[in-house]
Chains A and B, each alone.
Chain A
Amino acid sequence: MAEEKYQSRPMSPRPAKVIVRFDQQQRKLLDFLRKEATFGTEDGEIIRNIVLDYLAQQKELRSKPARSQRLPARNRGSRR
């Protein structure tokens, strides 16, 4: 499995396109962010900038030893 993942890892320096499926409620969040005009105006642009901002935030958190080292796991949940 590890080998398979390694082989599927993007090696060539070219842009990657990811198709992300959002439902209408999730798109409302995109609308809120679009109104803020901080992260862009197009859906794909907003998602990209948000994802990169989150990764930057996590990197900053990890760099501070007093804080938690863990990244949020998928099953950490949002207490629906």
Chain B
Amino acid sequence: MSAPKAGKSRIDLRLDPISGKAVPVHKGEVLRISQIEGGQCVDFNCFNLRDHKEYMSVGHMRREGFRTQAGRFIWSNPPRYRPMMQVLEMSPSCVTDLLGARCSAVPFEVHFGIDDQPNCQDTLAEAIGEYGLTPDDVHDSLNFWMNTEWDHVGSYTVWNTGKAGDHVDLLALMDVLAVPVTCGSGNLWVTSNFSYKPIRVQVFETSRATAALAEKQWKAHASLQTQRTPKDFKNSTIATDPVPRRDPTYQPDYVNFPINWQDIEVTFSSEEFQKIWQHRGMLGDTDEEVVRTLFLHWYLENRKKHGLRWYTPRQSHA
């Protein structure tokens, strides 16, 4: 499927090292981030332009795979958990990272004794300051052109594969404040191959095709009852006092608390029970555990809807 063509360019910026820019991108518009010379890591934050408490959740994106690819969504933080943008196009040599969080000044003081190293936490904070946001509003980045690998210990970064002219196109599914920055650690770490390079940021206006796709994806992925926004919150007041103060009258209202157990008697023939018994130890230590586990495995494989990419054992068998 080819990506829909967006309208004309309304923003065209060169971001020199080590700077960034908070850019409003409206629903149906396309943000393009491009390599100018290649090999530059780009950290990315994303806020709802109408509610900065809704922002990209890298942790929830990670649940769909460690590499964000074309077709995937930028999801916001629960309980909102809505699609903010969709990756329309991505150059093959753009490797993405969802493990590296964002670099900060602290490791450079620890490892190098340098206390003024440019870093993505501070660059992102400076960029969003234009909109009244603070360093505390910076969140973990979706990192474009950051070639992270992982093993049983954790993640580590290897040589940047970005090429001049590479680009990523992101379609806004809601009005967002998109914040691309050139990564500040790539001169001392391999992240950007030990040198800084500029990047290009463009915003293309909505076209009929991009508006239609944005609306289609929004309707398909943002209409669940459980995607709650502040109007659904018990307390929707944003605290301005930094000290948490206990409310002695507060009563938590946990979902479905307390748990209501029910014992169900299940009868198997001797032959059937022999088959169940064979799974003892692997699917449970007791007959009850084995039966419940078999039941739920069946349900997950046969009735679970596949809107999000979790638990796909049928695919793993194929």
Contacts and interface: CB of A to CB of B under 8 A. Distances in A.
Interface string A10-22: 1011111111111
Given A23-B260, A24-B260, A51 B298 contact: yes
B122 interface: no
Contacts of B240: none
Nearest to B64: A79
B299 A17 contact: no
A43 B297 CA distance: 17
A50 B267 contact: no
A77 B300 CA distance: 11
Contacts of B264: 19-22, 43-44, 47
Interface stretch (B25-33, B137-145, B204-212, B283-291): B283-291
Contacts of B266: 17-20, 44, 47-48, 51
Interface stretch (B78-86, B95-103, B153-161, B309-317): B309-317
B259 interface: yes
Interface residues of A, number: 44
A18 B268 contact: yes
Contacts, number: 140
Interface string B244-284: 00000000000010011111111111111111110111111
B292 A22 contact: yes
B293 interface: yes
B298 to A, nearest CB: 4
B238 interface: no
A16 B282 contact: no
Nearest to B310: A79
A54 B294 contact: yes
Given A21-B288, A25-B256, A71 B279 contact: yes
Contacts of A26: 292, 296
A17 B317 contact: no
B236 to A, nearest CB: 27
A4 B108 CA distance: 59
A20 B270 contact: no
Interface of A: 5, 9-10, 12-27, 29, 32-33, 43-44, 47-48, 50-55, 57, 61, 67-68, 71-74, 76-79
16 contacts: A16-B268, A16-B287, A18-B291, A19-B265, A21-B261, A21-B292, A22-B262, A23-B259, A26-B296, A47-B264, A47-B295, A50-B294, A50-B295, A51-B266, A55-B275, A78-B311
